[in-house]
């Protein structure tokens, strides 16, 4: 496994500091409000689990599963819901919790979808952001760490289903995906 990793881009300590900071901001901003965290699977589950434990306010949570890149490192631009949430978000504040914003296509689709469900607000919290890759305009209200245009793995992010368990955010050795 180590041979496939090029290097560490963001260390677990830096990620931890950012998660704590975001937790404080979100707790303050949603104080006294009915908040539902919606984790975007699969990649968002590690961040969601860390983030929710840094919140000092009561929150509800659910998970939504959308299509990913499959075994490729390129976005197809097609978003497909594989598993929807079970709870009703009408009259509640929704915070979509993502692993990474890349082209922005997934979150644009999800934001629009959730707005049709009668929430009080729909905002986005992402662990990582690649702003240079954006194809559509999308407001990211809570962003952990901006990263350069590199394909990353670890901290919930995969390549061909693997490496989600790496505690640091790493870059994938190009030799791995050059084989595609």
User: Which residues are near ligand 5GP by CB under 6 A?
Assistant: 43, 68-69, 75, 98-106, 151-153, 157-159
Active-site hit among 50, 102, 129, 168: 102
Residue spans of alpha helices (H) in the chain: 12-29, 45-52, 105-115, 174-177
- For ligand 5GP, the closer of residues 34 and 68 by Cβ is 68
- Least distance to ligand 5GP, CB of residue 56, Å: 27
- The rounded distance, in Å, linking the Cα atoms of 170 and 92 is 36
- Least distance to ligand 5GP, CB of residue 147, Å: 8
SS3 of 63, please? strand
- For ligand 5GP, the closer of residues 57 and 69 by Cβ is 69
- Least distance to ligand 5GP, CB of residue 16, Å: 20
Residue with tokens 């901001």: 25
Q: Which of 29, 83, 91, 20 is nearest to 52 (CA)?
A: 20
102 is an active site residue: yes
Dihedral Cα 106, 109, 114, 118, nearest 10 deg: 160
- For ligand 5GP, the closer of residues 104 and 144 by Cβ is 104
- For ligand 5GP, the closer of residues 2 and 91 by Cβ is 2
Q: Which of 150, 42, 139, 54 is nearest to 98 (CA)?
A: 42
- Least distance to ligand 5GP, CB of residue 66, Å: 8
Backbone angles phi, psi at 47, to 5 degrees: -65, -45
Could you list the active site residues? Answer: 102
């Amino acid at each position: 496994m180590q041979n496939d990793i090029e290097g560490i881009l963001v260390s677990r300590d830096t990620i931890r500091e950012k998660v704590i900071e975001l937790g404080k901001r979100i707790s303050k901003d949603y104080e006294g409000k009915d908040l539902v965290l919606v984790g975007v699977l699969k990649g968002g589950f590690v961040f969601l689990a860390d983030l929710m434990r840094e919140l000092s306010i009561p929150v509800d949570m659910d998970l939504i599963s959308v299509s990913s890149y499959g075994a490729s490192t390129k976005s197809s631009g097609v978003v497909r819901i594989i598993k929807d949430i079970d709870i009703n978000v009408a009259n509640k504040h929704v915070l979509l919790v993502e692993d990474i914003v890349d082209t922005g296509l997934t979150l644009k689709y999800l934001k629009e979808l959730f707005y049709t469900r009668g929430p009080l607000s729909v905002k986005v919290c992402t662990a990582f952001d690649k702003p240079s890759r954006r194809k559509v305009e999308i407001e990211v209200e809570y962003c952990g760490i901006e990263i350069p245009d590199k394909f990353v793995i670890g901290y919930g992010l995969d390549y061909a289903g693997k490496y989600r368990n790496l505690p640091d955010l790493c870059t994938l050795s190009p030799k791995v995906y050059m084989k595609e």
